[in-house]
Amino acid sequence: MRKAIGIRRLGRAISSLALVSLGVSAIVSAPAAAAGKPAIVQGATVKADRNSPTGYTVRFVYHNPHATQVRLAGDLSLLDVSTGNTRYQPEAWHPGRYHAGGTEFLRGMTKDARGYWSVSVPLHAGGLSYWYRVWDPTRSWVNKRIWDPASTKPRPPGESSFRVRNNDVLDAVYVPYAKKQNDPVLKERAGYELPISRPSRRGTVQYVPYTTILGDSGHYLGVYLPAKYDANRAEPYKVAYLAHGIFGDETDFMIPANVPNILDNMTAKGEIEPTVVVTMGNHFTGTGLDFASYNQTNAADNLVRTILPLIESNYNVSTERAGRAYAGFSYGGMAGGVVIKNYPTTFGFYGHFSGNPSLTSQDYDNIADAVGDDDLVVFLGNGLFEGNLNAQNAIADNFRARGFAATTTQVPGAHDGMTAGQLFTIFARDHLWSGSTPSR
């Protein structure tokens, strides 16, 4: 066995980036408060509301006196488990309906005399994706999609990330569960996806600059460290490496899939040992940062030959396959097939969320020969509104036929980060580090 290593400093690179605790997405207008006027809270504010069908209403406020039009947007329209692809407005929520991506929700916002744009919407429990669309002639913005400027969530600087560069940024609002929602799925989501109440139990998220395997600098890795992370702990932390979908980047599993919140809550409940998470942006070929820049072979090579050595030499994480997991959403789940095919002994756990590996019978045999008598855990799943699990079940059967643990599941969701978060919850809670002894 290889000897576990402790943390080493990344030097000026990390020190230049603040370690940011996960927080709420709202800021208060100080000038208004100082002038004795009612304070205006920018961002998303969640309030209990007996008149809301979900028991809660969220008020979104964005300040831009120069804008001529602003819309709230997001994955906020509803799909019903009984009616399939028919879309409903948030006000039409009832049990069995879930906020879902795939069709952009748009709602006009109203501007007041001080340049604050606002709108209120009833939303159900969980971490829910949203953004704004802005028309601002002073910035030449026409229907520009922006991240909520009131957000306190960390993200990479500049415009090196795929989402920022391609005007596809996401944020999340966290809505509690109310009894009137009467839905165990939403109750469970609220128990994992909302920020844990005690700050001392929250992990931290930072974005670390690095150079890819192709020699491209200016890229970032997202790193989540669990609460009370100990760089000198005798037992290295187990670590999950998470890959985004075709239109995502290193922020996707942090927001809107809400992995930091999920792990904070799961760790506090004693359902998983403290775990480190690393996210990467796989749009790193050339300068286009477009659809063609996500090459799965390059992504697999970059992960195993560049990212793993960097993380393992700078953080107190496991260097053994039993302490490493790979999971990906959509194209990232598909890329997992290249990872397991080309590097079959690197990871002991695989999660494929709404994206399946493409493997031949010979590939399965080669993987089985390489893994030998060691354990391999494979988890596959998707959202109910994405279709059936026939393909996932066939893949699981191929792994089971070769003596490996493989399971499939489905959650009420569409092809979006909220579904990825639900699937990650099940993967982490029910499958990660199985057979290992937790250290808490």
253 lies in the same domain as 296: yes
Domain total for the chain?
2
Which pLDDT tens digit goes with each residue over 377-412? 999 999 999 999 999 999 999 999 999 999 999 999
Domain-located, residue 187: no
Whether the per-residue pLDDT at 33 is higher than 60: the answer is no
Q: What integer pLDDT is reported at residue 153 of this predicted model?
A: 86
Here the CATH number for the domain that contains residue 350 is: 3.40.50.1820
Q: Is residue 168 located within the same domain as residue 316?
A: no
For residue 144, give the CATH number of its domain.
2.60.40.10
Residue of 246 and 98 predicted with greater confidence: 98
Residues 130 and 208 in one domain: no
Asked whether residue 38 falls in the same domain as residue 147, the answer is: yes
Q: Does 365 fall in a domain?
A: yes
Residue 5 lies in a domain: no
The domain of 352 spans 12-17+195-430
Q: Which of 131, 151, 181 is the last residue of a domain?
A: 181
Mean pLDDT of 361-370: 98
Same domain, 88 and 163: yes
Is residue 439 domain-resident?
Answer: no
Q: Convert the pLDDT of each residue in 264-320 to its tens digit.
A: 999 999 999 999 999 998 887 655 666 678 889 999 999 999 999 999 999 999 999
Task: Verify that 366 and 226 share a domain, yes or no.
Answer: yes
Instruction: Output the average pLDDT for the chain.
Output: 89
Question: Quick check: 203 and 229 in contact, CB under 8 A?
Answer: yes
115 and 142 together in one domain: yes
Q: Which of 148, 181, 214 is the last residue of a domain?
A: 181
Q: Does some domain include residue 371?
A: yes
pLDDT digits 0-9 by tens, 121-178: 999 999 999 999 999 999 999 999 999 999 988 888 876 677 777 667 789 999 999 9
Percent of the chain with pLDDT strictly greater than 90: 78
Instruction: Return d(Cα 344, Cα 129) in angstroms, integer.
Output: 34
- Residue that is last in its domain, among 133, 157, 181: 181
In a domain, 247, yes or no: yes
* Co-location of 250 and 395 in the same domain: yes
